[in-house]
């Protein structure tokens, strides 16, 4: 840093090292100031221009260079008493005449802080009063200005101004504890001296530190400031907690337990779970479900009746029906299950003699079909034939062996029949559809054999006994010795007029004899 000095009557430039703070100023700096140096001159002084040196002043002035008192002519503030390390000086005013109208700087030998150079003018060949200069004032620990022109703000913290006025800061801290429980640091305030020439920290107040252990009687106490309220306590006096069941489900209800002398009392007022009761709609076992819920334990609702022993597709036909079983409780009602099945009836073999439906097929057993061919006991008309004088018979329905079927007995009751008669043409007395069955001939109809043309009443043919027997035999209508012939001597008429009977046969008559002798006759009467 560039500084400037007054040595004798001359300003000298000097480059010096600067260390902030009086107490740290090097001996070189101190020595320099002792020789009338300062720092940070205004720009117009920071030059080698000759105008800065009074040409009227002889060199080697005998004015001491380290004057520390302000001139008597200075009407400004009273000079500041020098304090330790504080150099107060000002630019010396030459004595003797001067060139009329000349001017030169005057005032403090520093322009740091609030200090300001003034101007002195030569009037009547004498230097007049220093105008406009501002000299160092007393330091004010509460001011951020550099009133004492020492190059530092007056409130710079150092041995004199220990602290910034009106500020506070923590003190007596408890690292790791402050902020927990009651623990916190104290606080101290910066106290400014009445004359503001110094400041210092006041007494530390309000600090609270940790104790050995937390209280077990004050809820939330963290006096040991470890961030664990009531640390080391089983419970806090007067605390009431739920006890008994794990949760309030069904009939289960919490009880209360109270902290007394750092221990919880016995549980009071709790309702705990009981055995399950399949007959109860309550949740006695506190599992979240009504006890009578049907599951693997209570397998049915007590008193419930259900079908059992069923016969698919058969029940409700005839005798068939399902059974029933009732839900009954196990020991202590802790379980439930259905009891035995009763009342179940299954199908039986069909009985053609029963009007019931024993085989449960939906129809009466005695319904007539291929199995039960008829209704047992029924009597039906029956026939063999209805020809001739025959009439209807009867037959009866009977059960087969075992009753599994039925059938009709043989037809009976047909009128007893005689053999066909052979002396009545067309007779079918035996109702076999064949008239005159068994007859070799029918009386009145005759036989066809000329040698047996006579029909007996028994239906057999024998030798003719009369011409009538031969009537039905063509060309042989004459019975002659049991044989039907054409003619006989006595039956020549059977031949035509031109024939004659010869050997029972009609043959051509011989030519008539020449005129017959009258009155002769050849015929017998
Ligand atoms: Ca200062
Ligand atoms: Ca604690
Ligand atoms: Ca339950
Ligand atoms: Ca049936």
- Per-residue pLDDT tens for 257-296? 999 999 999 999 999 999 999 999 999 999 999 999 999 9
Domain end (from 305, 330, 347): 347
Q: Is a pLDDT exceeding 50 seen at residue 85?
A: no
* The pLDDT value given to residue 34: 35
In a domain, 210, yes or no: no
Q: How far is the CA of 282 from the centre of ligand 3 (A)?
A: 7
Residues 330 and 301 in one domain: yes
Q: How far is the CA of 4 from the centre of ligand 1 (A)?
A: 19
Residue whose pair of structure tokens reads 């009985």 in the numeric block: 351
- Local confidence band at 517 (pLDDT 50, 70, 90 cut-offs): low
Give whole-number Cα distances, 454 to 28, 419, 482, in Å. 205, 21, 9
Residues 13 and 35 in one domain: yes
Residues 327 and 452 in one domain: no
Domain end (from 99, 132, 156): 156
Q: How far is the CA of 249 from the centre of ligand 3 (A)?
A: 9
Closest ligand by atom to 153 CA: 1
Closest ligand by atom to 294 CA: 3
Q: How far is the CA of 375 from the centre of ligand 4 (A)?
A: 13
Residues 69 and 4 in one domain: yes
Arithmetic mean of pLDDT, 173-196: 96
Closest ligand by atom to 218 CA: 2
Q: How far is the CA of 154 from the centre of ligand 1 (A)?
A: 4
Q: What is the Cα–Cα distance from 87 to 150, expressed in whole angstroms?
A: 9
Residues 1 and 67 in one domain: yes
Domain end (from 292, 327, 347): 347
CA nearest neighbour of 226 among 262, 178, 184: 178
Pair 252, 273: CB distance under 8 Å: yes
* The pLDDT value given to residue 428: 79
Q: How far is the CA of 308 from the centre of ligand 4 (A)?
A: 23
* The pLDDT value given to residue 253: 97
Mean pLDDT of the chain: 81
Arithmetic mean of pLDDT, 401-426: 79
- Give the domain extent around 379: 350-416
Tokens of 189: 């305030």
Arithmetic mean of pLDDT, 133-146: 95
Q: How far is the CA of 216 from the centre of ligand 2 (A)?
A: 10
Q: How far is the CA of 456 from the centre of ligand 2 (A)?
A: 156
Q: How far is the CA of 111 from the centre of ligand 2 (A)?
A: 61
Of 41-50, 170-179, 488-497, give the range with the top mean pLDDT: 170-179
**What does the pLDDT look like over 14-55, one tens digit per residue?**
323 233 333 333 333 333 333 333 334 333 333 333 333 333
Residues 145 and 35 in one domain: yes
Of 27-36, 116-125, 371-380, give the range with the top mean pLDDT: 116-125
- Local confidence band at 222 (pLDDT 50, 70, 90 cut-offs): very high
Residues 362 and 338 in one domain: no
Of 236-240, 501-505, 521-525, the least confident:
521-525
Closest ligand by atom to 282 CA: 3
Give whole-number Cα distances, 523 to 45, 490, 520, in Å. 232, 12, 10
Arithmetic mean of pLDDT, 440-448: 84
Q: What is the Cα–Cα distance from 45 to 107, expressed in whole angstroms?
A: 13
* The pLDDT value given to residue 427: 84
């Amino acid at each position: 840093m560039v500084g400037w000095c007054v040595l004798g009557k001359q300003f000298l430039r000097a480059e010096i090292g600067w260390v902030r703070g009086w107490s740290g100023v090097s001996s070189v700096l101190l020595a320099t100031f002792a020789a009338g140096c300062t720092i940070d001159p205004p720009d117009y002084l920071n030059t080698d221009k000759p105008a800065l040196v009074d040409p009227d002043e002889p060199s080697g002035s005998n004015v001491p260079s380290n004057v520390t008192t302000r001139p008597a002519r200075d009407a400004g503030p009273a000079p500041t008493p020098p304090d330790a390390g504080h150099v107060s000086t000002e630019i010396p005013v030459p004595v003797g005449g001067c060139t009329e109208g000349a001017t030169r700087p005057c005032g403090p030998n520093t322009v740091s802080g609030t200090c300001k150079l003034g101007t002195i003018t030569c009037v009547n060949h004498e230097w007049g009063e220093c105008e406009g200069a501002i000299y160092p004032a007393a330091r004010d620990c509460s001011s951020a200005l550099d009133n004492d022109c020492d190059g530092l703000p007056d409130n710079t913290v150092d041995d004199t101004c220990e602290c910034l006025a009106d500020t506070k800061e923590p003190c007596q801290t408890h690292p790791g504890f402050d902020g927990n429980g009651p623990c916190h640091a104290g606080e101290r305030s910066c106290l400014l001296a009445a004359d503001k020439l110094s400041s210092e920290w006041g007494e530390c107040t309000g600090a609270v530190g940790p104790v050995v252990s937390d209280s077990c009687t004050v809820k939330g106490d963290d006096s040991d400031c470890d961030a664990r309220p009531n640390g080391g306590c089983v419970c806090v006096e007067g605390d009431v907690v739920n006890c008994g069941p794990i949760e309030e489900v069904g009939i289960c209800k919490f009880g209360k337990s109270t902290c007394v002398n750092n221990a919880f009392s016995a549980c009071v007022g709790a309702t705990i779970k009981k055995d399950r009761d399949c007959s109860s709609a309550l949740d006695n076992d506190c599992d979240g479900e009504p006890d009578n819920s049907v599951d693997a334990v209570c397998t049915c609702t007590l008193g419930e009746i259900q079908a059992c022993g069923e016969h698919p597709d058969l029940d409700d036909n005839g005798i068939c029906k399902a059974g029933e079983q009732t839900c009954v409780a196990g020991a202590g009602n802790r379980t439930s299950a259905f009891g035995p099945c009763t009342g179940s009836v299954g199908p039986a073999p069909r009985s053609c003699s029963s009007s019931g439906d024993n085989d449960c097929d939906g129809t009466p057993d005695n319904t007539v079909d291929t199995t039960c061919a008829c209704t047992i006991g029924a009597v039906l008309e029956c026939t063999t034939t209805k020809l001739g004088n025959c009439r209807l018979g009867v037959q009866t329905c009977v059960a087969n062996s075992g009753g599994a079927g039925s059938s009709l007995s043989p037809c009976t009751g047909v009128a007893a029949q005689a053999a066909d008669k052979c002396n009545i043409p067309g007779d079918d007395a035996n109702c076999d559809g064949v008239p005159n069955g068994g007859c070799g001939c029918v009386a009145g109809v005759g036989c066809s054999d000329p040698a047996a043309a006579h029909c007996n009443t028994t239906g057999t043919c024998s030798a003719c006994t009369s011409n009538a027997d031969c009537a039905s035999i063509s060309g042989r209508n004459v019975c002659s010795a049991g044989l039907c012939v054409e003619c006989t001597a006595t039956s020549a008429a059977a031949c035509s007029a031109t024939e004659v009977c010869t050997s029972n046969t009609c043959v051509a008559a011989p030519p008539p004899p020449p005129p017959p002798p009258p009155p002769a006759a050849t015929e017998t009467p």
